[in-house]
Structures are given as structure tokens and as C-alpha cells.
Structure 1
Amino acid sequence: MATQKLYAGAKLREMRTRLTLTQKEFAAKLGVSLPYLNQMENNNRPISTTVVLALAQEFGMDVTELSTGDSERLVSDLREALADPVFDDAMPPLADLRLTASNAPAMARAFIALHRTYRQTHERLASLDEALGREDAQIQASPWEEVRDFFHYCDNYIDAVDRAAERFSGRAQDKGGIRAAAIESLGENGIRVQFPDIEETRKYDADSKTLLLSSRIAPQTQVFQLLLQVSLINQDKLLEATLDFAKFHSDEARAIAKIGLANYFAGASLMPYGEFLSAAQLYRHDLELLSNRFGASIEQVAHRLSTLQRPGAKGIPFFFVRVDQAGTITKRHSATRLQFARFGGACPLWNVHRAFETPGHFLRQLAETPDGVRYISLARDVSKSGGSYGAPVRRYAIALGCEVRHAEALVYADNLDISNASAYEPIGISCRICERQNCHQRSVPPLERRLSIDTHTRGTLPYEVT
């Protein structure tokens, strides 16, 4: 089998800029000529094995970073944006999109941001009756989407926060466990922790320095909320520095992101990176065993698995998604080539939608995307109780998966016929950018293709995709 050539010019340029080296200086350290470096930085030549070794030895770079990152996500996001009807038949060839994502990632992100702003503006104009007369009616990016994209393009791994959480968890082992350590840490800051019967999950009064955690919530949720508060109190400078780096466009986005980072710290403290990665490999990523080992929920474990992307110590690249009963994606992340639709729901053929039909059970699926990549997908419903009789219950379904080449590392792949091509169900990202011509679950025609309509014949769909 031919070895795939590695083109990563943009990352070479970014690294050289970060090191404040000229091309001549960088070429000398890599042991190549100046013209050769110039060609690699412009993706006219692949990165040679000699250069890969030099990057690792001279700069301590995790060379796996060269072949991962934003490229596939950017291509997916570009395709979805360009599938908007406003572009008509202007969809560039896939090869051009890949070149843009590889050679000009900043331009690609700017285009995606521009399209997002256009889309939000269009939606606001469509509901002009509601917007008229409102003093706060502004055209700006959704804070929620801005934060979601921040984590998305960080590979859902925040190194400084993750390592701080791991250090806290390490100290907790000498203090009677993570729960006791969290309460003690808050106590050192003069904060009292109480567990009254209240509707709110967590409520902190800064004036009296009192943290109230509802006695109605599960013990593992109480621990998570304790750790979240530890993050907000003890790691405030770290969180603020991370937020400064992100440069959010609104105070709302910054506030949402701070909660997200505090949640990240809580999850990483509960499931410290090194220990969790080792356990995941030992248990072959059995979610229930990991849940029992670390005192975390199934959803928390699945989400944590998707964050194991530390340079030099990466876990399996997973995708993770959570959907509500309407099919709307409420959480999403992918370290794989599978990317989720930025707007709307997920492919209806995906097993995550069927999880609501089999509460309490794991569903396994072998799936293949239009680009020919095959995946193992695991889905299950999760419920969040309201804590009392009559209180509303929030119901979701989660999916966790990876490329089938990692099957041996997954207990859920046992007894699946992964070598049988017919065992794989065809799935896509979303109907409007899916290239499949004969999908029986298609809801709208693909925007990239022409339609053939025969008024005298009706097949699975009222049209044929050509």
C-alpha cells in the first residue's frame, strides 16, 4: 500500500512564526535548503521524513499534530456553508476546498464566520416583526455558537486547564477522595458547603461565602458541581487567561465559555487524564466500567473520552454527540474525520436517534460515510431527573464512535462483522450536503445536484438525484 504524502504547510508556517524564526533560520535547523522549505510551506512539496524527525528532535514537536487538526473540520464546514442556496451552483470542487483548508485556514474560518453572520442576519430579517422596536436588536454572532466553535477548533482539549485539573486530582488522593478534597479546598477559601432541599442544582452566595448544592441531585452530580465551584474560585486566573486568548466578541459568549471551562475542569478532575487514559485502554473503553471506576455518569465518561487529545499522549480519536428528542444536536465534537452539521439535526439513519426507543440499552452500529470512511457508533439514551415527583425530566441520546480501524481497542466491537461491507449502514452529515442518490430517509434534495422529476413515476422519492 502506498504511503500517504503529508502536506502541512500552514502548520509549518505557524510554528516558524511562533518561534520567531526567519525562513533561512528555520531551514537551517531542519537541515533543508531555503527553496525546499518554501515549497513545503506552500504545500508544493510534502513534508519529508527527515523534516519530521528534525521537528521532533530539534523542537520537541508531537509530529502527529501535523496530520490532525482543523483541516477535515474546515472542509466539512466549508461544504455546508457553500451548500446554502445563496451560492446557487457555485460549489467548488472538493479538491479546491481541501487546498483552501490546508493552505489558507484563516481565510476558510473567516469565510465560515461571514456565512454564519449572513445566515443569522437573514433569520433576523425573516422575523422582522419581532425585532422592530427592540433596542437590543443587533446583528452579531450567537454567543452559544461562538463558544461551541471555540471548543470545536481546540479539539475539545484545553491543555492548561486539563493539567491543572490533573494536579488537583493528584493531591485529592491524600485527602480522602475527590469529594472531600473539593470541600476542603473551598473551606480553605472560607466557603461553607451545605446540601439543602432546593430546586436549583447549585447556588453560590459570594457575600456569605456559602455554596448550596441541592440534596435532590445524584451524588455524582454533587461532586461535579463541587469541582466546578473549585474551578471558579481557585482557577479563576487560569480561566480568565484562557478567555483572554480566545477573544470572544461579546460578554455573553465569554460568560458561557467560562462556565464551559469550569465544567471542563470538573470533568478533568473527576477523570484525570493519565489515569483515565490508562483505565480506558485497560477496560477497552467500556463506558459502564469507567463510570463505576471514576464515579461519573455515562455521558460524562463518553464526553471525556472525546477530549483525550493531549499532544504526545493521545487516546483514540472519538466523535461525541448529544441530541434531544427533536433530533437537534445540543453537544458535538469530533476528533475523527466525521464532522457534524453546524446547523440543524444529524442524519436520520444514525443509531443515535433510535436510542430513545430502547431506554437503558446500548445500540451498536457499523456505519459508512459518503467518503468511504467506516465507523463504529455506540448510542444510548440518557435522562436527567428533575429530582422530585412531577418535576420535568430532560431526555437526550448520546453517541460515541470512532473509525473501525480502532475496533480491537473497543469492547463494543466484539462479535461485529467489521469485514463485511454489507454490514455498514450508509450515513451522512445532513441531507442538504449528502451526496447519496437513493437514500430512503432523505428529507430535502442535495443542493449540489440537479433533480430529474417524472410526473408519471414515483419511487422512494418524488425525484431522482442526478
Structure 2
Amino acid sequence: MRAPIGFRISNRRKALKLSQAALARLVGISPSYLNLIENNKRDIGGSLLQRVAQHLDIDINQLAGLLEQKLLQDLEEAFADPTVQALPFQPDERRDLVAQYPASAAALSRLHRAYGAAVTSADAYADRLRSDPLLSQMLHQILSSITAVRSSAEILQDVPDLDDAERQRFLAAIGRETLALSDVARNLIGQFDTASQTRRGVSPAREIDDLIIERENYFPTLEDAAAVLRDEIEAAGPFNVVTLTALLGTRFGVSVVFGGAAANVGSDFPGQYRFDTESRVLWFQGAATLATRQFQLARLYGELAAGDVLAEGLQSAALSSPVARRLAARALGTYLAGAMVFPYSRFLSDAEAVRYDIDRLRQIYHASFEQIAHRLVTLRRPGEQGIPFGFLRSDPAGRLTKHFPLPGLLLPNSGHACPLWAIYGAFRTPDTMVCQIVRFADGSRYLFLAQTVQRRTAAFRETVVPTSIMLACNVLHADRTIYSAGLDLQDQSADVPVGPSCRLCTRRECPSRQEEVMAPGGAAAEIRSPLVPAGFALGDLD
């Protein structure tokens, strides 16, 4: 769903006491077209949005309402919840709510998240009660201990002629059973706590999403630290595996081992790299590519040399759980490594020069497809921005394993996306870029770029699971990329009609739909119904 940029333009224009005709003349469009924009009936972006922001003397990010676009996405998901989807919502109700009552919209979003967390927690406890054999065993232990304590207590109460030795024996039995009962109860509580934390695994991921959107996926302190570290490394030699290996050894006492068994984990360790903090050995699988080695060496160097900067970044982030902090620490460490391997200004200049040709950038920086894609989504420096990209990764089963959100584009947080997206089509043509222009139900259009990647096998019998990486940008920026060649960006008849996922999609006529429509507005379309209606009678054939 489009953010209410037009309403914001109208409010700002009126605050400056500018007429529609005056603003239209300043930005070089007709008053009627500006009227359509202000009523949110036409999209605005690119150079036109920049001119409007300039003449209204307002920051372009504030005008575009990037955070409000995220709020719109949250409301889209909340209003599609089965609990409320049958209510007669108006088509523009969510957009108007965000535009006119943003605090109320944020309250609804937070309540929906809290509701989702509560349901997840309740499901976790219900699963434990229904099916966990360990829980059943613990409950039997508790019942046995209670029975033993009760029996001993009844004997002490009902048998008055017990001698002191027998009385002490029953008291000791009660003491042992009480201690055992206490231990089992602690274990039981621990099992519930562990289950609840495990089942809330989606919440930390949502917290990381919020952090990335809040910072617009750009962390200036990490960029500055990366520039300093890059200079240190290049002062010792060319930025490559050899120089990084030597500096890790001389400065931090780290030994780098290629091939053989991973340190302290045996020969069956499935990962491509591992750092053992006790022995200070960084191990790489022999099949690890040059791109993997260079990136992980830079990542370890950055985490050791700029640990205080990473710690400050974590401290300033609002994270509610150890899992969220761990995920954020990994994300910030990876960001720092990317900024070291791909210096911001130089990388942006190269990307613009080759029109964002990912294969050309891979050759220039000795990097992998995924590493280049990661760096492209971080080019958000104010005044020196690249194309705003979103990022998505999927395994062959269609499960989404990583994503960097793009405000305005509803990327599912987990589960599966729309089956028509290029990220799934890429599996049919391995190692080949798939380019796709898509159009959502609200009229927004995007360029999707997807390609499969896989790591090298380490042994004949090793099965390597490929993944698909997708970049997405608004079609307004598509002509700046090499991938627009041969595409008629103005011909919307060639667009692929898509949605975010079947559950959130409002396209009732889609032949690829796998779930019934749950979006607000109208009755749900039944896609799983019998050929013969329920009220069919034999006489109806007349």
C-alpha cells in the first residue's frame, strides 16, 4: 500500500501558504497533476519528489514518510488477521488512519504485535501440555513425590505408637521427597521458560527489522570505523587475504588455518568457517571461496579492532532479549565487514559506473553475489545515496531465511512470499539472473532481480542446498540499472500481477492463489469449494 505522501505535500504546502498553481509551476508540472498527487491518486518519486521537497523546504525522507510506510505495512498485516478480516473496512481506511491519526495507527500496530506474541506464547504452553513426553514424565514424578509425602505424613499422624527411630525415618523420607519435588518443579518451570523463549523466535527478527528501518539500513559510525580500519590494513599492504591474515596474527595473535578439521569440533563440523576464542584459531573449510575467506577475515578483524564501536551500536539499540542482541551483534559485525571490503564512496562510484551490474562488481571486488547484494542495500548515506534496494533470501522450499526491508514494499517477515516472485523463478534457471517487473494491487511497481547461489561442496557425498537472492527497487529507479535493457518500463501490460503473500494478497482472481483472501473489504473468496453446491437437489436439473 502506498504511503500518504500526497497528504503530506498538501499539508506542507498549505502551511507555507502556497497555492497549488504556484507549487506546480515551481516543480514543472500542471496544477491538475499536482491535485492528483495531493489526493494520493498518483505516485511520486525520483527527481520530481526531490524538487517538491526542495521547494517545500522539507527533508525528502520526512516527506516520503519512510517510517509511516512501515506502519502501513504493519496495519496491512493487522487488518488481514482472521480475527478482524470480516469487518467492513473501507479501501483507504488504513492509509487515512496513518495520515491523520499516526499515534492511533501505531497503537493498533503495537497491540497486534502484542496479541501475536501472546498467541504464540499460549500455543507454546498448549503444545507442551498436549505432546511433550518430558512434561508428562515430570508430572508423574511430581505426583509420585506428593503421594510419598502424603503417605509418610498420614503414618506419622495416624500411628501414635511409633518409636523415635521409626518417626525419624518417616521424617527423613518426607524431607527427601520434598527436595526431589522442589527439583522437579524447578526443571518444569525451566522447560516452560525455554519453550516460550524458543517459540518467540520471530520477535527478535522483527526487532532487528525495526532497527534497520529506523536507521534506514545505514550506520554512519560503522562506516567511519570501517574507513579507519581499511586505511590501517592498506598501510600494511593490499587489501586481500594475505594482508588480513598477517595483520590478524601480528596484532591479535590469531592463526588462520585452511582445510582439515575445524578446531575443537571434529571433522564433521558443517560450517565453512569457525573462530575458536580459546586457541585463537580461525578455521576455513578447504572448499571455502576466496570471497568467503576475504569477507570473514575482514569481519573478524573488524570485531576485534572495533569492538567498542560495535558495543556502542548495540547499547543504543532498543533490544528486549538476549536473542535479539545476539542477532543484532551479528548483523552489525557483518555490516562493518561489508563497509571494510566495499568502501562506501568508491563502491557507489563503481556501482553507478557499471549501472549496478552485480557480476561486474563481483569481479572488481573479488566478492560473492550475496555480498554485493548486501552492500547495495546499505547505500543510504544522506546526500550520497545509491538506488534504494530491498533484499530477500529463500531456500528451495520457499522459506524466507533473511531479508532487509524496503519501505513501501511489503516483504513477508517469515514463511513464504508470493509464488510468482522472481526469487522462486530463479530456481528454475540456476546461476542466471531473472529480471521481473511486478505490479501490486495498489498500483505500485517494482523491479525484481533474483539469482541462485550455492557454496562449494567439500566432499562427494555432501549435499549442497542452493539459495535464491533477490533485490527489489521501485520501478522509478529501474532505468539506472543495466537490467532495464530490453524492458519497456512504460508498458504496464507486461507487468506480472503479484501480492506480498497469498494470505495478504487482495487479488481474488489470481490463478496461483493457495489461500483464501483474508484482506479486509468484502466477503472472502472461496477457492476450496465442491463442484456441486451444498444446497443441490436432484430436481434442480430441470
Aligned-residue offset at 1:406: 1.7
Q: Report the TM-score when normalising by structure 2.
A: 0.70
1:191 maps to amino acid: G
Q: Which whole-Å CA distance do the structure 2 matches of 1:382 and 1:247 have between them?
A: 34
Relative distance call for 1:428 and 1:88 in structure 2 (3 A) is closer
Are residue 76 (structure 1) and residue 77 (structure 2) matched? Answer: no
Q: Which whole-Å CA distance do the structure 1 matches of 2:60 and 2:231 have between them?
A: 29
Q: Equivalent residue for 1:235?
A: 306
Q: Which whole-Å CA distance do the structure 2 matches of 1:452 and 1:323 have between them?
A: 29
- Secondary structure class of the residue paired with 1:113: helix
Residue 222 of structure 2, aligned match among 161, 183, 187: 161
1:138 maps to amino acid: S
Confirm or deny: 8 A CA contact 2:229 2:302 kept in the other structure: no
Q: Equivalent residue for 2:248?
A: 186
Structural RMSD (CA): 3.5
Confirm or deny: 8 A CA contact 1:381 1:398 kept in the other structure: yes
Relative distance call for 1:130 and 1:264 in structure 2 (3 A) is farther
Aligned-residue offset at 1:170: 4.0
Aligned-residue offset at 1:292: 0.7
Q: Equivalent residue for 1:254?
A: 325
Confirm or deny: 8 A CA contact 1:161 1:238 kept in the other structure: yes
Q: Which whole-Å CA distance do the structure 1 matches of 2:463 and 2:455 have between them?
A: 9
Q: Equivalent residue for 2:472?
A: 401
Q: Which whole-Å CA distance do the structure 1 matches of 2:514 and 2:52 have between them?
A: 50
Q: Equivalent residue for 2:121?
A: 121
2:462 maps to amino acid: A
Q: Which whole-Å CA distance do the structure 2 matches of 1:250 and 1:452 have between them?
A: 40
Q: Which whole-Å CA distance do the structure 2 matches of 1:297 and 1:76 have between them?
A: 31
Relative distance call for 1:280 and 1:90 in structure 2 (3 A) is same
Q: Which whole-Å CA distance do the structure 2 matches of 1:261 and 1:130 have between them?
A: 39
- Secondary structure class of the residue paired with 1:172: helix
Q: Which whole-Å CA distance do the structure 1 matches of 2:107 and 2:239 have between them?
A: 44
Confirm or deny: 8 A CA contact 1:65 1:311 kept in the other structure: no
2:499 maps to amino acid: G
2:248 maps to amino acid: L
Deviations 1:57-112 (A, max 9, x none): xxxxx544442422212211221122111224247445443355452275355234
Aligned-residue offset at 1:195: 1.8
Aligned ranges 1:3-14 → 2 under 5 Å? 5=6, 7=8
Deviations 1:234-291 (A, max 9, x none): 1211111111111322212212211111111111211121111111110000010011
Deviations 1:330-371 (A, max 9, x none): 111233522212342110111211111111111111211111
Relative distance call for 1:333 and 1:354 in structure 2 (3 A) is same
Aligned-residue offset at 1:207: 3.5
Are residue 89 (structure 1) and residue 86 (structure 2) matched? Answer: yes
Q: Which whole-Å CA distance do the structure 2 matches of 1:354 and 1:112 have between them?
A: 33
Residue 450 of structure 1, aligned match among 514, 520, 523: 523
Aligned-residue offset at 1:148: 4.1
Aligned ranges 1:19-34 → 2 under 5 Å? none
Confirm or deny: 8 A CA contact 2:517 2:525 kept in the other structure: no
Aligned-residue offset at 1:205: 3.3
Q: Which whole-Å CA distance do the structure 2 matches of 1:366 and 1:88 have between them?
A: 29
Relative distance call for 1:213 and 1:234 in structure 2 (3 A) is same
Relative distance call for 1:126 and 1:83 in structure 2 (3 A) is farther
Q: Which whole-Å CA distance do the structure 2 matches of 1:376 and 1:153 have between them?
A: 24
Confirm or deny: 8 A CA contact 1:83 1:91 kept in the other structure: no
1:248 maps to amino acid: L
1:346 maps to amino acid: A
Residue 411 of structure 1, aligned match among 468, 478, 482: 482
Q: Which whole-Å CA distance do the structure 1 matches of 2:479 and 2:467 have between them?
A: 28
Q: Equivalent residue for 1:138?
A: 196
Relative distance call for 1:452 and 1:272 in structure 2 (3 A) is closer
Deviations 1:184-209 (A, max 9, x none): 44235332332242344333333343
- Secondary structure class of the residue paired with 1:195: strand
Q: Which runs of 5+ in 1 are unaligned?
A: 12-26, 32-45, 57-61, 459-466
Q: Equivalent residue for 2:25?
A: none
- Secondary structure class of the residue paired with 1:70: helix
Confirm or deny: 8 A CA contact 1:370 1:428 kept in the other structure: yes
Q: Which runs of 5+ in 2 are unaligned?
A: 18-39, 41-50, 136-187, 263-268, 534-542
Deviations 1:417-465 (A, max 9, x none): 222222111011111221112100001111134146686579xxxxxxx
Aligned ranges 1:454-465 → 2 under 5 Å? none
Q: Equivalent residue for 1:362?
A: 433
Q: Which whole-Å CA distance do the structure 2 matches of 1:327 and 1:126 have between them?
A: 28
Q: Which whole-Å CA distance do the structure 1 matches of 2:316 and 2:5 have between them?
A: 35
- Secondary structure class of the residue paired with 1:325: coil
1:116 maps to amino acid: G
Confirm or deny: 8 A CA contact 1:71 1:98 kept in the other structure: no
Confirm or deny: 8 A CA contact 2:5 2:64 kept in the other structure: no
1:118 maps to amino acid: A
Relative distance call for 1:434 and 1:205 in structure 2 (3 A) is closer
Confirm or deny: 8 A CA contact 2:66 2:407 kept in the other structure: no
Confirm or deny: 8 A CA contact 1:374 1:404 kept in the other structure: yes
Q: Which whole-Å CA distance do the structure 2 matches of 1:356 and 1:78 have between them?
A: 32
Are residue 320 (structure 1) and residue 317 (structure 2) matched? Answer: no
Aligned residues: 422
Q: Which whole-Å CA distance do the structure 2 matches of 1:169 and 1:121 have between them?
A: 45
| Larger CA deviation: 145-154 vs 418-427 | 145-154
Relative distance call for 1:51 and 1:202 in structure 2 (3 A) is closer
